[in-house]
Amino acid sequence: MKKWKSLSWIVLLLTLVMGLAACGSGNASGNKDGGSASKGSESYSLLTGGTGGTYYPLGGQFANLWEDATGDKFTTQTTGASAENMATLQKGEAEVAFSQTDIATYAIEGKEMFKEKIEGIKAIAALYPETVQIVTTEKSGINSIEDLKGKTVSVGAAGAGVNINAKQILEVHGMSFDDIKPQNLSFEESTDGIQSGAIDAAFITAGTPTGAVEGLSAQNKIKILNIEKDKQEKLMEKYPFYAEDTIKKGTYGIGSDVNTVAVKAMLVASDKMDEDTVYKMTKALFEADKINHAKGEFIKPETALEGLGDIEIHPGAAKYFKEKGIEKS
């Protein structure tokens, strides 16, 4: 009798263990199939920039949006921004990244700072303008880009994006660095140099308003040089990653709108990311209730394909834009 009771307890315990295992198996299946429990089914890295820039805070918001939309995990990484991000993607050490449209173009073409073509990179979308600002002061007597001849001008660090912007803009005006006295200075060094009189003008490519330029305008009446319409068109024809831009009257205290050009901040992804994931990411990005950042107002599907030039669109992003009736110009 005792023997049968012992066997009965063993059978009961086995039944309970098997039942719990079945429940656990059911939950694992549920995690894989979707719903809030599915978070973490895939993990992706999003490359941003430095903590003091725009990419980093936007990246944190995008990661949260994408986790909610896809059920996957997105982890942001601080980096040296565009050029480093492109190289890291090619190594397979991340899947998504911020870049500027011009830097991404150089990467896929193997030009400028890239000695070899970087392959396997696709565009998700252009986000907001990184405006080319040619800054001087009212008292400098410089009224046009041609007036920069013979002047001491900051053109950014050698090989940096702004340095190449300066070369290209001077080029469409029939000029080169030989026509000016170029200085390789940071944005802060540039505005300090204008303030002290050490330099006459500076090329600065950044979202407006730019802190360094705001600091200069607090103590000086500044001037931003126009890029005339015909020169904009010539520039965009040769370098299709540029787009028209306007610095509005009142920015830095300027008295009228300034016509210029911009490259775009953009998102790129590895072509190994599946179409459905990137589709959900793109949809979430442009249909979010609010992106809590000053640049959020620029992030809209209508302008998301501007300035991308020859960079191919990821099939997942292309699917979303096709649904919205938006085509690459």
Q: Indicate whether 122 and 47 sit together in one domain.
A: yes
Res 52: pLDDT: 66
Q: Which of 263, 284, 300 is the last residue of a domain?
A: 263
**What is the chain's mean pLDDT, rounded?**
87
Rounded to an integer, what distance in angstroms lies between the CA atom of residue 263 and that of residue 207? 10
Phi and psi angles of residue 309, each rounded to the nearest 5 degrees, phi first: 55, -125
Find the radius of gyration of the CA atoms of the chain.
26
Tell me, yes or no, whether 94 and 177 share the same domain: no
Number of domains in the chain: 2
Domain identity same for 150 and 243: yes
Clarify whether residues 247 and 297 are in a common domain: no
The predicted pLDDT at position 255 comes to 95
- The rounded distance, in Å, linking the Cα atoms of 257 and 224 is 9
Look-up: residue for tokens 């997942």? 316
Considering 242, 263, 284, which residue would you say is the last residue of a domain?
Answer: 263
Question: Which of 241, 263, 285 is where one domain is finished?
Answer: 263
Residue 206's domain is classified under what CATH number?
Answer: 3.40.190.10
Is residue 76 included in any domain, yes or no? yes
- Which ranges constitute the DSSP H helices of the chain? 2-33, 55-70, 82-90, 101-109, 161-172, 187-196, 211-217, 229-238, 275-286, 315-323
Residue 155 maps to a domain? yes
100 and 189: one domain? no
How much is the pTM? 0.76
Is 16 domain-assigned? no
Instruction: Give the pLDDT confidence score for residue 274 in this predicted structure.
Output: 96
- Residue 18 domain flag: no
The rounded distance, in Å, linking the Cα atoms of 202 and 152 is 9
| 104 and 167 in a common domain | no
Domain assignment present for 233: yes
Is there a single domain that holds both residue 285 and residue 168? Answer: no
CA distances from 47 to 58, 83, 100, 307 (A): 11, 11, 13, 21
Would 222 be classed as within a structural domain?
yes
Whole-number Å distance between alpha carbons of 213 and 309: 29
| Residue 246, phi then psi, degrees to nearest 5 | -135, 130
Q: Are residues 142 and 248 in the same domain?
A: yes
Residues 250 and 287 in one domain: no
Residues 230 and 137 in one domain: yes
Residues 222-265: pLDDT tens digits? 999 999 999 999 999 999 889 899 999 999 999 999 999 999 99
Instruction: Tell me the residue range of the domain where 65 lies.
Output: 43-128+266-323
pLDDT, position 276: 98
Residues (pLDDT < 70) of the chain are 1-40, 52, 159, 329
Residue type, 54: T
What pLDDT score was predicted for residue 290?
A: 82
Check whether residue 50 and residue 83 sit in a common domain.
yes
Q: What is the pLDDT of residues 115-125, one digit of tens each?
A: 999 999 999 99
Specify whether the CB–CB gap between 303 and 297 falls below 8 A: no
The predicted structure's pLDDT at residue 282: 98
C-alpha pair distances (Å), 154 with each of 53, 198, 202: 21, 10, 4
Report pLDDT digits (tens) over 136-156: 999 999 999 999 999 999 998
d(CA 126, CA 267): 6
